[in-house]
Amino acid sequence: MNAASVSVSPREVDDLPSPRGLPLLGNLHQLPPATHHLTLERWAAELGTPYVFRFGTTPVTVWNDIELSHAVMRERPHRYRRYAPIENILKEFGCNGLFSIEGAAWEPQRRLVMQALSIPHIKAFYPTLAAITERLRRRWDAAARAGGVVDMIEDLRRFTVDVTSALAFGEDPNTLENEHVLIQEQLAMLLPMLMTRVNAPFAYWRYVRFPRDRKFDAAMIDVHRHIRELMARTRARMREEAAIEACATPLAETAPAPRNLLEAMLALRDAPGSGITDDEVAANVLTMLVAGEETTATSIAWALLFLGTDDALQARVAASARRVLGESAVCPGYGAMRELDLCEAVCTEASRLHPIAPYLSLEPLEEVRLRGVRLPAGTKMFMLHRPAMMDPKNYAVPARYDPDRWLHERRHESDAPASLSPRGAHESRAYLQFGAGPRVCPGRHLAAVEMRLVVSMLTANFTAQLATDPANIHEVCTFTAVPSEMPMRLFLR
C-alpha cells in the first residue's frame, strides 16, 4: 500500500496530555475559582496545548492557538456555541441576552444592539458622556480635597452603569452622586455568582440556598423590578410621544423613530407577530447593564495600576491629555476625543498583560476535527488568551508594559507586516479582548470612548498614587479577571 494513501487516525480527547487528577473529582480540587485561570495557563506551559483536564467527570480541552481561535470564532453561532451551562444559568437569572443567547434569536437582537452602539449614535450621545465624566471628576475632586482613599473599581463601575443606562435606555440613574442607588452594587454580584454556579459540580442551588444565594436572589428581584419599571416608563413615554406626533401630523403612517436601544426593543416586541416577549427585552437590558459595567471599568482599573506606580508615564499622559483638553476639565468634543490615542493605549496594554477575559469557553454543535483531534459535539473547549499575548513571536518584549506599541500600530497600520516593524513583533490579531468574528463585542467603540474620556480627565486634573503595595493587587476571576483592589489617593494638579 502506498504510504501516501494511508490516512492518519485522529487523536481522541483521551489521548491528549492531562494534569493528574482524582477519581470522580478529576482536577476540580486543583482549580480554586478565583485563580483557576492562572492554573489553566500554568498547565498550558507545562503540558503544551491542546491538553485536557477534567471538571469532575467532564473533559475540557484547552487550546492556545490564535489562528484556531479566529477560525472557531468565525464559525459562530452556526458551528460553535458558548459553553452551554453559561446560557442555562443566565436563563435562571433572567439575563439570557445577546451575550449568551444562541441560535436564530441571536441575529435580530444583534442588529438592534449594533445600531444602538454604532459610531454615529455614540457621537450624538457624546455631550451626555462628557457630562457623566464631569460628574465623576467632581466626585474625585471632593475625594482629593478630603484627602481620602478612593475605591477606583467602585467609582468606575458607577460611571459605566450611568453611561450604559443613559445611552441604551434613555434614563440616567446617577449612581455617582446618589449613594443610595443600589443597582451598581447589585449588578456587581451577578458575574461572581455566574462563575460560582458554572463551576459547581452540581446544581446545588436547586436544592438548598446558602446565605450568599439568598442575598443574590433578593438583589436580582430588586434589579428586575427596576428593569420592569424602566420598561413601563419607556412604553408610557413612547405612547405619549406617538400621540403628540399623531396630533401634529395626522397623516403620518409611522411612529417616531426609536432614540435608544430600549425603545427599539420595545417597538419590535410590541409589533404584531414579533414573537418577542417582555422577558427577552428585560434579559437584554440586564445583559447591557452588566456588560457595560464590568468590562470597561475593569480595563481602566488595570491601567491605573501602571499609571499609579509610574510617575513619568503619568506625567506624559497628563501632558498629552492637557494638550487636547485645553482649558476644559473634560474632553470638550467627539472630534477632540479622537486625538487621545495614548489614553486608550494605556488601557489596551494593561489588558494585554491582565486580560479581562482570560479565555473563551465554547463547544462545537457537531463533530469537528481540530489540529488532528476529534471533538464530538458538545466537547468543552477553553481558548486561552494570555499565552499568545505573552509570546515574543506576537509582541516584542511581551512582559514589558509598553503602551507605545499600540500607538506604533496606528502609525504603521499600512506598513509592512508586524514582524518587520522597527519596534519588533506586533501581532494585533493576538489581542482578543473584544472577541472576533460575527460575535465580536458590539460595545468596543463605546469602551474606547469611555477609556479616553476617563483617563484624560483623571490625568489632566489629578495626580494619582496607588494607596497600597502593588504586590497586594492580584487577579481575581469572577467570570472576568478583575483586580482584587485598586485604592488610590488623588491630588489636585
Write out pLDDT tens, residues 122-131. Answer: 888 899 999 9
Q: Looking at residue 167, what is its pLDDT?
A: 84
Q: Where are the domains positioned within the chain?
A: 65-385+432-492
pLDDT in tens, 391-400: 999 999 999 9
Q: Retrieve residue 16's grid coordinates.
A: 491528549
Write down the pTM of the prediction.
Answer: 0.87
Please calculate the CA angle 302-304-310 and round it to the nearest 5 degrees. 120
Question: What is the distance between the alpha carbons of residues 484 and 148, in angstroms, rounded to a whole number?
Answer: 19
Question: For the chain, what is the mean pLDDT?
Answer: 87
Looking at the predicted structure, is the pLDDT value of residue 16 above 90? yes
More confident residue, 335 or 96: 335
Question: What is the distance between the alpha carbons of residues 182 and 392, in angstroms, rounded to a whole number?
Answer: 44
CB 357 within 8 A of CB 409: no
Q: Retrieve residue 279's grid coordinates.
A: 422577558
Average pLDDT of the segment spanning 434-448: 81
Looking at the predicted structure, is the pLDDT value of residue 225 above 60? yes
Q: Looking at residue 287, what is its pLDDT?
A: 83
Q: Looking at residue 21, what is its pLDDT?
A: 93
More confident residue, 198 or 422: 198
Q: Looking at residue 330, what is its pLDDT?
A: 97
The beta strands (E) that lie in 113-243 are given as 149-151
pLDDT in tens, 244-258: 877 877 655 555 677
Average pLDDT of the segment spanning 342-355: 96
Q: Any idea which residue has 483638553 for its cell?
A: 325
pLDDT in tens, 360-415: 999 999 999 999 999 999 999 999 999 999 999 999 999 999 999 999 765 544 44
CB 279 within 8 A of CB 94: yes
pLDDT in tens, 18-46: 999 999 889 999 999 899 999 999 999 99
Q: Looking at residue 83, what is its pLDDT?
A: 84
Average pLDDT of the segment spanning 422-426: 77
The secondary structure of 98-160 as a DSSP string is: TTT--GGGHHHHHHHHHHHTSHHHHHHHHHHHHHHHHHHHHHHHHHHHHTPEEEHHHHHHHHH
Question: What is the distance between the alpha carbons of residues 41 and 248, in angstroms, rounded to a whole number?
Answer: 63
Cα 32 vs. chain centroid, distance in angstroms?
22
Strands 149-151 and 487-492: antiparallel
* 441 in a labelled binding site: yes
Average pLDDT of the segment spanning 289-308: 89
Cβ atoms within 10 Å of 136's Cβ, excluding its own: 22
Cβ atoms within 10 Å of 272's Cβ, excluding its own: 4
Quick one: pLDDT band at residue 119, thresholds 50, 70, 90? confident
Q: Looking at residue 386, what is its pLDDT?
A: 96
Question: What is the distance between the alpha carbons of residues 377 and 365, in angstroms, rounded to a whole number?
Answer: 5
More confident residue, 1 or 476: 476
Average pLDDT of the segment spanning 203-226: 92
Q: Looking at residue 243, what is its pLDDT?
A: 84
| CATH of 65-385+432-492 among 1.20.1070.10, 1.10.630.10, 1.10.10.10, 3.40.50.300 | 1.10.630.10
Q: Looking at residue 417, what is its pLDDT?
A: 45
Quick one: pLDDT band at residue 2, thresholds 50, 70, 90? very low
Q: Looking at residue 418, what is its pLDDT?
A: 46
pLDDT in tens, 459-476: 999 999 999 999 999 999
Q: Looking at residue 104, what is its pLDDT?
A: 67
Q: Is 485 exposed, middle or buried (0-12, 13-18, 19+ CB in 10 A)?
A: middle
Secondary structure element (H or E) that encloses residue 374, with its range: strand 373-375
